[in-house]
Structure 1
């Protein structure tokens, strides 16, 4: 038996075990063929990637070290005695091979695969094989089966009130932080809306990243239930409440592969929302030439798939197809986006009008889930709650009850202005390019990094006039962002002379 050690190594959701190369309990060479081990002890078991340590000061010959993610997953205390075994290959992988060969999987087949994925019995290569096999072709019934399997593999929240409203944007448009305005408006109306949100993976900010500038988002289930009872809403990080954990594992492999099919997107979103106990869901699909969804036809096909799976799950679903032709608001990055959100809630004259209008339209549609609200009057009710200050007061109560943020975030002090190369009109803004520049500046890990847009599509600009400002806090990030902006600023100015 080996003595368990927690090593403070962040392996980004991957379970990694470390053995001393001169281990006195096992011949490490016996495990190197598969590169994985099964760690067992105290009635618990976990699969992990194996790495070797050659320095006894880091890990002794009679110890086994676990990365932060692996230690949390196994759930045993430091000093516990554990054994190491060869992992048993998951039987469900035969189903993945069948899917790769063109087979259609039943609900039971998909449930078997997802149970093993959630239990982290699949390696990243095996997960990639499953994702690629599903990306090739999935029937609508398979999408439904995958969604149900992902719901069943994790926790489910229940609420003693109803209906429970929720909102999700499929993403792809920088600065589109409408949820942080919609939630306090809907909660101020009196409709419960416990919003669980993700942190950004490939974007400059997720809702949880931006909300964490203003308040604590690492909130457990009991605290969420209290917030819904007292304030009617919350804005918290969903990773803390174990909703659809298989989805988190799949996403960790999906992103590097750039595999993001509409089938997997629908299963991911609806599994999280159903597991969160939502009964009435608004899905926002922004459409634009550089957004995640590029055409109206693609948006309609996606809407129909959402409606089919949502109906089968018993969700009351409304799908809004919105303008994703350019970033929403002025700020891109957590601190800048939080600034825009609070400016809208406070009714400041300089608040971004597009963010305000988009949030009001979405909030109005959610308010109309309330049986007591007449059809067509939701927008007016949302506007009255915003302009009357009720939404701001509700947001302040949510922030107070969730608690202060873990650290104070301030705007990046390294600033570079990207200027117009000629006189003309801003003709287009590339959402994807702008998001990449903001991420290179350090967002969202550095909450003060990002881009402050100064002009939107249709604006008249003069040569040398700033189009946007890049903010960063570290010189390497600052240099990377500046270099990318110099190669292609992501904004096209139509006029005589060179192009931006």
Structure 2
């Protein structure tokens, strides 16, 4: 560390402020702090904070000395900064200027559209993980790379993202399968069903999934309604060894940890880079020890991928990068014109998953058919079944109850099985104001409505969709239910509903 003052003078007592700044380390110092004055620190300055052998680069926020927030001689740390330094109450830290970040010169090189080597990507990714890049630096890197990475560069970036995190391995298992959906399709909760079918077929599928970033629910949010998902690496290994698969949250096990940092900044920029998307997906699959990966690419006017042309281009990139990395990658282009199932939000999506797996009457047929199709493709890709026979095997495993038994066994191994998701306290029915046929359903607007109602943080919040494209409806029929856990969140979502048109479009019947 480079300090312009002696370390003894640059020491402060650490306090856990408890502010969640997500992946960005933030520290809080008094405006009369002797270190701020001596070192010239001000608001938004980047500082290096050291505790023993550990150090982070953090953004500084300055607190008024008479506000009563920080006692003299103390420094406050955000939640992620505290965790990264593994501090305890009363710990002393040393604060000073960070060293110059040499890898920024590689970012400038990419700004001028010059290719980067594997070593250069590794240097950038290591510095991002260590907190040496501000959000502005990360945004510059992402912008410089946006749709300007060739196949070799995407492979280099993927390798770098894997190498800085943890990795799972499965000795004695030649084929380890996984799947990923590109997203943008509310209710498309096929993963728990696919994992259960594939594991029941005797394959290994260590599925780690994300929580929601911008959607009403991620797979981990939905599964958390049913079973614990916050597993450590050893627990994941044990569950997979016993059951052949798992359905865990990936954020606790540092598989491609830089990915979460990049995604946070990408979302803030509303930037959707093909190269970064491919590196993000494949880095997590490699880190999980996968050898065969199925990629679901839904296409629709309000899905994430909006045209067949764009989907085919993305499919080729996945295939080419996968080949560079020694992965068997099979992308499939699927229908993304409308939400899947009836539920949008953790509890409602969990209801749909449980209904399909337990073969309940009235289970959403579109979710069932989609999951069977994807599971069949995985069985064929892994050569567990001959081409054209995978879906038949998947149907048998689901209909026989084998997949349902496997799902329950996985949940119990992860810490427990809850068959009854929570129910919302407040509901509001949205009725058809005319006769007609459903012409289109806007995925993005329905997803936003579910989020405004409280999903995914409120597990029982969201939307229950009661119609599909081409359904006939009569005036007064219920199109969907808007659900919330508090009256305030319901009213908040209703305000958006009143101001929004085109969520469900009709044509004359």
Global fold match (TM > 0.5):
yes
Aligned-partner SS, 1:446? coil
1:167-207 superposed Cα distances (whole Å, 9 cap, x missing partner): 11010100000001000110111101010000011111000
* 1:193 match: 205
Distance 2:487 2:414 in 1: 34
Q: Which moved more, 1:134-143 or 1:319-328?
A: 134-143
1:92 to 97, 103, 110: 103
Q: How much has 1:115 moved relative to structure 2?
A: 1.1
Aligned-partner SS, 2:146? helix
Q: Which moved more, 1:148-157 or 1:231-240?
A: 148-157
1:266 to 278, 295, 298: 278
Unaligned 5+ residue runs, structure 2?
1-10
Distance 2:369 2:408 in 1: 21
Q: CA RMSD in A?
A: 1.8
TM-score, reference length from structure 2: 0.94
Q: How much has 1:76 moved relative to structure 2?
A: 3.0
1:410-442 superposed Cα distances (whole Å, 9 cap, x missing partner): 222211111112100001101111111111111
Unaligned 5+ residue runs, structure 1?
none
1:48 to 37, 46, 58: 58
2:81 to 70, 86, 92: 70
Distance 2:417 2:41 in 1: 44
* 1:179 match: 191
* 1:359 match: 371
Q: How much has 1:374 moved relative to structure 2?
A: 2.3
Contact 2:177 2:382 in 1 (8 A): no
1:108 to 97, 106, 119: 119
1:34-80 superposed Cα distances (whole Å, 9 cap, x missing partner): 52210012011111111123357432211112111111111233322
TM-score, reference length from structure 1: 0.96
Q: How much has 1:481 moved relative to structure 2?
A: 1.5
2:349 to 320, 327, 337: 337
Report whether the alignment pairs 1:128 with 2:118: no
* 1:493 match: 506
* 2:161 match: 150
1:411 to 406, 420, 423: 423
In the comparison of the two structures, how many residue pairs are matched? 496
Contact 1:36 1:86 in 2 (8 A): yes
Aligned-partner SS, 1:368? helix
Contact 1:166 1:282 in 2 (8 A): yes
Contact 1:17 1:49 in 2 (8 A): yes
Aligned-partner SS, 2:289? coil
Contact 2:351 2:421 in 1 (8 A): no
Distance 2:478 2:38 in 1: 59
Report whether the alignment pairs 1:3 with 2:13: yes
Report whether the alignment pairs 1:431 with 2:443: yes
Matches for 1:168-247 after TM superposition, within 5 Å = 168-247=180-259
1:434-456 superposed Cα distances (whole Å, 9 cap, x missing partner): 11111111111111110000010
Aligned-partner SS, 1:469? strand
